[in-house]
């Protein structure tokens, strides 16, 4: 009730029956305000969910307010048919009852306590009315306006009070009943119970929150420990595999030393040719220097022409050397003939082996015959001993015995001869196995040697042609002093080392910014003169190196773009998912196309340091801002997969990247914002002027706002920003104050059009900041780029993408076609290609034998279905489970390789694995095995990928590369790389698999059944499909061209902020 309603009912003598009295006392909180004779002023408080009808002068009142109802009544005892003793017993019974959940203390601000301890009414006045009114005013808010607006209510209250005073003086009107003392005891006991219950409830809630917090912490620790355990097991397993591979390679090396002696002679001859070529190159450079110094001297020009003629004669000599190289090819043909002879010898051994098997059967028969003769001989000897004295036939028996003895000896000699033959054939069989292994190794080495010789021949021919062209243009090039050399002359590691050395000299202040930039451009162009200058001084001290290089500085024109990738992963040194593969694959592809690519990574303690070449620390300290102060960082230099990489090691008290894992820490937001600020500080202080800064996922998305708001005003303004989101599931959300740690202006960025999260408006979203502040935004496939524009796919960022749609693109990822090549894969037992699939069938038979699956029947070869995946809901685990049983129903075989980080999913598939443990057609390997994955790709006929969503996916591309036809759901990158063989909308040359749309068992059946039918009924058509899929190009080459075009458009646009 409001204040006015409370006053209206205050002081009125509300007549309540005894039953209502008891219920009021049980179901409400109350306070005695005043007692006089047999009347009591009682303050009642009802919970909001209870309606209490109160009888007053024949009328029934009810209050249904949303809040607890407060009002004062005068309780007056009414006599009824029960005796006084029964009423007292009932009152005691009610006192002992516990209050309900609704019995709460209505006032949390102490107003009820004030009412209890308020002063008594003034003497001489009417007891009850005035006091009740004062107490009610003290219980409500001190808003006197309501009191001033209700004069009629006050008048009504006074009238009622006067009537109450008159009635109180009349003794006849007070019936006998329950005493006031009993009523007060009941009230006080109820008050105590309510207070105690409230206290117990509060304590229980606090303890519950504490238990929940402890539970969450323990669950987090268990998850971290499980991840670390899995990582340790994976590392141990990789180490064991590496040891086995080393042992195998050592055996190969021992067997091939004799055969490689001839190769060494040929290699020496090739090196001699290369040395002669390098000598000619040096002479050509001397000639260029002389031309530059004597442009105005005609006589010297004539002399140079004579020298050029002499060089042309030397080129002819080189061509003669190339003729000698052709002789080497003839040697290869001889080796091939040797290979054929070995194969013929192996066939001879097979024939002997068949004869051995026949001899073994004959040997067994002879042994049984020998045992029978021995028994017969023993019997005859016994009979002879008994009858020799009395039987006239004894001499005949003796002769028969001698004859049998001779036969026995003859049989023993035959058995011995057969055993000798068997042992010899076993040795022959063992020699055959060794020879087969040698043949396989020799085939592999012949392929490699043939490839190397062809590459060398092509390289020599190209170099000779380029050398002749360079000689003709020496005079023109001498004006600029530029000599472009072939890319393949020096390894990528040489040029990466040179770039890192130049950077070290610049940061050490031994090279000026201008000279350093010019030298970097020369190294970028791979000019011969900086190569020769650095070779001459590379082992000297830094001062001498700087002095030698500064003589070469001259303004150059960039041959391509300078791209710096700032990322949290890079394969193979720091890889969790596909992000690491993209950074390495895209970087190498851009480098091969003539662009300068550099990578900046955090220096994790759990990286694979064995894959980093020339890792060293730079003797320069880098300081970056974070949390209101500057922190020291160490810069490490190294080469990964031919790419120059900078590793930033923070000296922050929190040890951000010394946690034993890449992700999954509670302070990941702070860890990676710190890294982004330090990476930009490194670019600024090292004097780099990149054309593009390319960042990846939410971990490095904050680079974009940091770049525009902090570093462009400081002079780092040459670059434009590219941002790639690999998965919109992970966005990097935290409180706005977290942005202040890295120096950003929180009020300016915590806005709906900038970095405010679209769901939780009190949070900031790093992924959104990368989209808003970058010049170009990409994701990993065109279809996924469409899917994330929907509310479900974009996870709340679909509206942001809609606002920046003009700069948002989908570029399909690629695979490393050198690492994934069935023709050269060292982890396969048999190599093969699209033109010769015999090795694929051999791999299939070998994998069946290795895993204990049933071999192919003479009449039918069952199709083998493979699946390599993480068992998580995103990958469609229910469809993977169904595909196992469906393949069995269709008459095929199924192999699953993978594990699950989700415990219940892992347990479920472990149960399925136990059910099929000895099955001839099903095998589940619930762990990851790199070598086994290569074998499954090579052996399987089909590959199931029923993902619910898939931003890009690489397994379908690898499967096709190895001749395994993919069966996929049309989503994300799967839709952009697999095209249904039965879909007439695609040209025939593009069809490479089978697809379905519905994420259910019926959809999967539709695709799998069609694939099985084609495999069994039209094998020629299937072979053509396999060859077509293997020849499709899913390398990084095309994707790199798309990124280069996006870079070009970005740099050509006006230098606006967005």
Tens digits of residue pLDDT in 468-482:
555 555 544 444 444
**533: confidence class by pLDDT, cuts 50, 70, 90:** confident
- Residue 617's pLDDT band (boundaries 50, 70, 90)? very high
Residues 802-853 pLDDT 10s? 999 999 999 999 998 888 999 999 999 999 999 999 999 999 999 999 999 9
The distance of Cα 118 from the centroid of its chain, to the nearest Å, equals 69
CATH dotted code for 298-477: 1.10.287
Tell whether domain 838-1034 is in CATH 3.40.50.2000. yes
From residue 835, give the alpha-carbon distance in Å to each of 448, 823, 983, 1029. Answer: 18, 10, 26, 12
- CATH 3.40.50.2000 maps onto the chain at 560-810, 838-1034
- If one counts every other C-beta atom within 10 angstroms of the C-beta of residue 119, the result is 9
pLDDT digits (tens, 9 = 90+) for 2-23: 434 443 444 443 444 444 454 5
More confident residue, 257 or 145: 257
Numbered ranges of CATH 1.10.287 in the chain: 298-477
The 8-class DSSP code of residue 118 comes to P
Angstrom CA distances, 540 to 501, 530, 534, 613, stand at 12, 15, 10, 20
Q: In whole angstroms, how far apart are CA 343 and each of 347, 428, 432, 747? A: 6, 14, 10, 79
Residue among 140, 189, 239 nearest 25 (CA): 189
CA 228 to chain centre: 15
Are 491 and 526 in contact by the 8 Å Cβ rule? The answer is no
Query: What is the overall mean pLDDT for the chain?
Result: 76
User: Each residue of 150-187: pLDDT tens digit?
Assistant: 444 344 444 444 444 444 444 444 445 557 887 788 88
- Write out pLDDT tens, residues 491-510: 888 888 888 899 888 888 88
Q: Convert 37-73 to b/e letters by CB count within 10 Å (16 or more is b).
A: ebbbbbbbbbbeeeeeebeeeeeeeebeeeebbbbbb
Tens of pLDDT, residue by residue over 262-299, are 666 666 666 666 666 666 666 666 665 555 554 544 45
Q: In this predicted model, which residue has the larger pLDDT, 488 or 896?
A: 896
First-to-last C-alpha distance (Å) of the chain = 59
Please state the pTM of the whole predicted model. Answer: 0.53
pLDDT, residue 849, reads 94
Tokens of 947: 């993902």
Q: Annotate 288-299 with three-state secondary structure.
A: HHHHHHCCCCHH
Beta bridge partners of 944: 967
d(CA 1006, CA 1015): 15
SS3 category, 640: strand
pLDDT of 334 over the 80 cut: no
Give the chain's count of helices (H) and strands (E).
Answer: 33, 22
462 vs 690, higher pLDDT: 690
The C-alpha torsion from 570 through 571 and 575 to 581, rounded to 10°, is 90
Q: What kind of fold does domain 560-810 have according to CATH?
A: Rossmann fold (3.40.50)
Other CB atoms within a 10 A radius of the CB of residue 743 amount to: 16
Q: pLDDT, tens digit, for every residue of 388-401?
A: 554 555 566 566 66
**Nearest to 943, CA basis, from 1016, 870, 864:** 864
Element (H, E) at 618: strand 613-626
């Amino acid at each position: 009730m409001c204040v006015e309603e409370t006053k209206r009912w205050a002081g009125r003598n509300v007549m309540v029956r005894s039953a209502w009295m008891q219920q009021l006392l049980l179901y409400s909180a109350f306070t005695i305000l005043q007692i006089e004779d047999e009347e009591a002023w009682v303050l009642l408080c009802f919970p909001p969910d209870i309606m209490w009808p109160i009888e007053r002068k024949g009328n029934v009142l009810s209050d249904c307010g949303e809040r607890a109802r407060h009002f004062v009544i005068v309780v007056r005892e009414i006599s009824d048919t029960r005796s006084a003793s029964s009423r007292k017993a009932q009152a005691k019974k009610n006192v002992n009852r516990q209050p309900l959940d609704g019995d709460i203390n209505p006032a949390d601000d102490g107003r009820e306590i004030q009412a209890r301890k308020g002063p008594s009414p003034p003497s001489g006045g009417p007891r009850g009315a005035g006091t009740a009114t004062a107490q009610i005013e003290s219980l409500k808010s001190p808003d006197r306006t309501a009191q001033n607006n209700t004069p009629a209510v006050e008048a009504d209250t006074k009238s009622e009070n006067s009537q109450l005073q008159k009635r109180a003086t009349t003794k006849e009107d007070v019936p006998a009943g329950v005493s006031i003392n009993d009523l007060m005891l009941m009230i006080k006991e109820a008050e105590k119970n309510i207070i105690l219950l409230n206290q117990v409830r509060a304590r229980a809630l606090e303890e519950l929150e504490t238990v929940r917090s402890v539970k969450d912490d323990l669950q987090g620790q268990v998850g971290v420990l499980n991840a670390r355990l899995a990582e340790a097991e994976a590392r141990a397993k990789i180490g064991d595999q590496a040891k086995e591979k080393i042992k195998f390679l050592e055996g190969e090396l021992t067997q091939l030393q004799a055969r490689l002696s001839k190769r060494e002679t040929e290699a020496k001859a090739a090196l001699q040719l290369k040395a002669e070529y390098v000598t000619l190159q040096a002479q050509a450079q001397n000639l260029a220097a002389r031309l530059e110094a004597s442009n105005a001297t005609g006589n010297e020009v004539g002399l140079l022409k004579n020298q050029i003629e002499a060089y042309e004669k030397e080129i002819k000599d080189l061509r003669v050397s190339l003729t000698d190289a052709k002789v080497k090819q003839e040697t290869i043909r001889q080796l091939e003939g040797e290979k054929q002879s070995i194969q013929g010898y192996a066939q001879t051994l097979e024939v002997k082996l068949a004869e051995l098997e026949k001899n073994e059967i004959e040997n067994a028969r002879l042994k049984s015959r020998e045992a029978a003769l021995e028994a017969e001989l023993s019997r005859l000897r016994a009979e002879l001993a008994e009858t020799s004295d009395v039987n006239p036939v004894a001499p005949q028996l003796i002769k028969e015995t001698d004859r049998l003895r001779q036969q026995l000896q003859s049989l023993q000699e035959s058995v011995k001869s057969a055993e000798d033959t068997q042992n010899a054939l076993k040795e022959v069989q063992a020699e055959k196995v060794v020879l087969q292994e040698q043949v396989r190794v020799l085939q592999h080495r012949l392929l490699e040697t043939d490839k190397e010789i062809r590459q060398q021949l092509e390289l020599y021919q190209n170099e000779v042609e380029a050398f002749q062209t360079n000689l003709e243009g020496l005079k023109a090039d001498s004006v600029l002093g530029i000599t472009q050399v072939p890319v393949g002359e020096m390894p990528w590691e040489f040029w990466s080392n040179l770039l890192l050395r130049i950077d070290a000299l610049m940061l050490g202040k031994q090279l000026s910014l201008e000279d350093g930039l010019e030298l970097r451009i020369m190294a970028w162009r791979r000019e011969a003169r900086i190569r020769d200058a650095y070779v001459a001084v590379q082992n000297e001290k830094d001062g001498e190196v700087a002095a030698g290089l500064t003589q070469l500085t001259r303004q150059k024109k960039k041959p391509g773009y300078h791209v710096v990738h700032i990322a949290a992963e890079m394969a193979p040194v720091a890889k969790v998912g596909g992000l690491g593969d993209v950074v390495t694959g895209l970087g190498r592809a851009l480098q091969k196309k003539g662009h300068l690519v550099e990578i900046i990574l955090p220096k994790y303690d759990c990286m694979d340091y064995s894959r980093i070449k020339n890792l060293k620390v730079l003797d320069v300290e880098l300081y970056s801002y974070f949390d209101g102060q500057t922190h020291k960082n160490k810069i490490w230099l190294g080469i990964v997969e031919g790419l120059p990489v900078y590793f930033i090691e923070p000296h922050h008290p929190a040890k951000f990247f010394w946690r034993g894992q890449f992700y999954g820490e509670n302070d990941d937001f702070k860890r990676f914002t710190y890294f982004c600020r330090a990476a930009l500080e490194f670019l600024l202080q090292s004097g780099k002027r990149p054309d593009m800064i390319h960042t990846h996922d939410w971990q490095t998305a904050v680079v974009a706002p940091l770049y525009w708001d902090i570093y462009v005003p400081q002079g780092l303004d040459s670059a434009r920003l590219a941002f790639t989101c690999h998965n919109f599931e992970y966005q990097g959300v935290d409180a706005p104050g977290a942005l202040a740690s890295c120096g950003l202006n929180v009020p300016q960025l915590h806005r709906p059009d900038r970095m405010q999260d679209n769901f939780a408006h009190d949070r900031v979203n790093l992924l959104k900041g990368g989209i808003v502040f970058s010049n170009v935004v990409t994701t990993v496939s065109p279809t996924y780029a469409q899917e994330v524009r929907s509310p479900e796919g974009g996870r709340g960022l679909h509206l942001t993408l809609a606002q920046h749609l003009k700069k948002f693109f989908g570029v399909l990822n690629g695979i490393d076609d050198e690492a994934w090549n069935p023709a050269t894969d060292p982890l396969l037992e048999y190599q093969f290609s699209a033109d010769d699939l015999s090795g694929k069938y051999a791999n299939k038979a070998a994998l069946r034998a290795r895993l204990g699956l049933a071999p192919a029947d003479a009449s039918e070869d069952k199709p083998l279905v493979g699946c390599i995946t993480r068992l998580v809901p995103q990958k469609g685990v229910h469809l993977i489970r169904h595909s196992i049983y469906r393949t069995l129903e269709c008459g095929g075989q199924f192999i699953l390789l993978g594990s699950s980080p989700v415990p219940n999913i892992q347990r479920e598939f472990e149960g399925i694995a136990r059910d099929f443990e000895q099955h001839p057609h099903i095998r589940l390997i619930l762990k990851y095995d790199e070598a086994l994955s290569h074998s499954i790709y090579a052996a399987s006929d089909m590959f199931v990928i029923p993902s619910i969503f898939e931003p890009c996916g690489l397994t379908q591309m690898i499967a096709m590369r190895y001749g395994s036809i993919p069966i996929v759901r049309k989503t994300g990158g799967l839709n952009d790389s697999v095209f249904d063989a039965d879909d007439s909308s695609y040209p025939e040359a593009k069809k490479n698999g089978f697809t379905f749309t519905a994420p259910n068992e019926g959809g999967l059946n539709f695709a799998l059944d069609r694939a099985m039918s084609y495999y069994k009924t039209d094998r020629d058509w299937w072979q053509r499909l396999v060859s077509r899929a293997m020849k499709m190009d899913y390398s990084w080459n095309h994707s790199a061209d798309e990124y280069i075009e996006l870079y070009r458009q970005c740099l050509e646009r006006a230098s606006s902020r967005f």
